[in-house]
């Protein structure tokens, strides 16, 4: 018998390598609950440009195909028009997460239940399996996330939280999904030596940490987990091999090596320039 009755997995982010990542995400979550409900939200363009710089549109079929192939329950999905804040990863991601959260809340109200646990992650993520198979339930106002980095001198003394994956209760997910309403405080940054760094001002990891602190949410990142670390799957990853059989550093090397002439404007979260493909 599974540990939980019903959980929600929210897949929100720029559409990149979902056909590759889907298999591994489904495997990861399949035994976590009696029923695993998926929600999928993305923009209407593929986040990885073609070699000639052109951009493909996201269609219903590319989202739905893996769900049909693996027989998984997709409760709802949305393909959205961009919101115009293309240089700010925090707000782009927060908007997608908010819409996905709304779909989850609609389902909870419609069927009169509350999810036992909710995961928000992206649809291009691979989670390396950890030492523990089960989840310790998150309490209210607590998230489990891989990375919390405090006072790291390399990062100029700012604390941040990785934004690739977090698990929480349903209500705490509602709080987290509300982060689109958060407005960054320019003065906070003006008082630091980071004034010359626009990247720090826009950086999603720092903003997420600041929001979490404001809402008094605790982050559990230590101890045994069902995943050790994670990577974003890039198109240069070998699809002919099982990622589970590869050591972490091999995939990490592929991640680090990935690069295209058009990549920077898509993957550089702190770019002060808007993406110019619309």
Binding site for other proteins (CB under 8 A): 95, 98-99, 102, 105-106, 108-109, 114, 139-141, 169-171, 174-175, 178, 180-183, 214-216
Kindly tell me which of 91 and 237 has the beta carbon lying closer to other proteins.
91
Kindly tell me which of 28 and 39 has the beta carbon lying closer to other proteins.
39
Q: How far is the CB of 227 from other proteins (least distance, A)?
A: 24
Tokens of 110: 């419609």
Q: How far is the CB of 130 from other proteins (least distance, A)?
A: 25
Kindly tell me which of 24 and 115 has the beta carbon lying closer to other proteins.
115
CA dihedral 262, 268, 273, 278 (to 10 degrees): 50
Q: Which residue has the tokens 């996330």?
A: 145
CA separation for the pair 242, 165 (Å, rounded): 22
Kindly tell me which of 175 and 232 has the beta carbon lying closer to other proteins.
175
Q: Which residue has the tokens 């950086």?
A: 203
Backbone angles phi, psi at 192, to 5 degrees: -105, 170
Q: How far is the CB of 182 from other proteins (least distance, A)?
A: 6
3-class secondary structure, 223:
coil
Q: How far is the CB of 193 from other proteins (least distance, A)?
A: 25
CA separation for the pair 239, 118 (Å, rounded): 29
Which residues neighbour 102 within 8 Å (Cβ) at sequence distance 6 or greater?
A: 177
Q: How far is the CB of 110 from other proteins (least distance, A)?
A: 10
**Which of 44, 32, 136, 34 is closest to 81 using CA atoms?**
44
Kindly tell me which of 114 and 241 has the beta carbon lying closer to other proteins.
114
Q: How far is the CB of 183 from other proteins (least distance, A)?
A: 4
Q: How far is the CB of 39 from other proteins (least distance, A)?
A: 14
Kindly tell me which of 26 and 95 has the beta carbon lying closer to other proteins.
95
CB 207 within 8 A of CB 184: yes
Give the Cβ contact number of residue 170 at 10 Å: 19
Phi-psi region of 268 (alpha: psi -120 to 50; beta: other; left: phi over 0): beta
CA separation for the pair 128, 151 (Å, rounded): 26
Kindly tell me which of 5 and 236 has the beta carbon lying closer to other proteins.
5
CA separation for the pair 227, 127 (Å, rounded): 6
Q: How far is the CB of 140 from other proteins (least distance, A)?
A: 5
Kindly tell me which of 70 and 171 has the beta carbon lying closer to other proteins.
171
């Amino acid at each position: 018998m599974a540990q939980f009755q019903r959980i929600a997995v929210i897949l929100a982010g720029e559409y990149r390598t979902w056909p590759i990542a889907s298999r591994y995400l489904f495997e990861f979550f399949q035994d976590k609950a009696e029923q695993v409900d998926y929600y999928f939200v993305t923009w209407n363009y593929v986040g990885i440009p073609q070699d000639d710089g052109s951009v493909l549109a996201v269609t219903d079929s590319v989202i739905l195909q893996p769900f049909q192939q693996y027989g998984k329950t997709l409760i709802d999905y949305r393909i959205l028009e961009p919101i115009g804040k293309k240089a700010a990863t925090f707000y782009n991601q927060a908007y997608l997460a908010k819409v996905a959260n709304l779909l989850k809340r609609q389902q909870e109200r419609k069927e009169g239940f509350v999810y036992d646990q909710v995961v928000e992650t992206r649809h291009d993520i691979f989670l390396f399996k950890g030492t523990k198979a089960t989840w310790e339930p998150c309490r209210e106002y607590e998230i489990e996330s891989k990375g919390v980095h405090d006072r790291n001198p390399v990062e100029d003394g700012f604390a941040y939280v990785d934004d690739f994956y977090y698990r929480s209760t349903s209500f705490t997910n509602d709080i987290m999904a509300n982060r689109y309403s958060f407005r960054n405080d320019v003065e906070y940054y003006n008082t630091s030596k980071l004034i010359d760094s626009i990247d720090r001002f826009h950086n999603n990891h720092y903003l997420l940490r600041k929001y979490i602190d404001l809402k008094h949410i605790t982050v559990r990142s230590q101890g045994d987990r069902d995943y050790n670390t994670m990577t974003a799957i890039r198109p240069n990853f070998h699809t002919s091999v099982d990622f589970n059989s590869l050591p972490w550093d091999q995939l990490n090397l592929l991640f680090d090596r990935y690069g295209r002439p058009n990549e920077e404007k898509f993957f550089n979260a702190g770019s002060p320039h808007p993406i110019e493909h619309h």
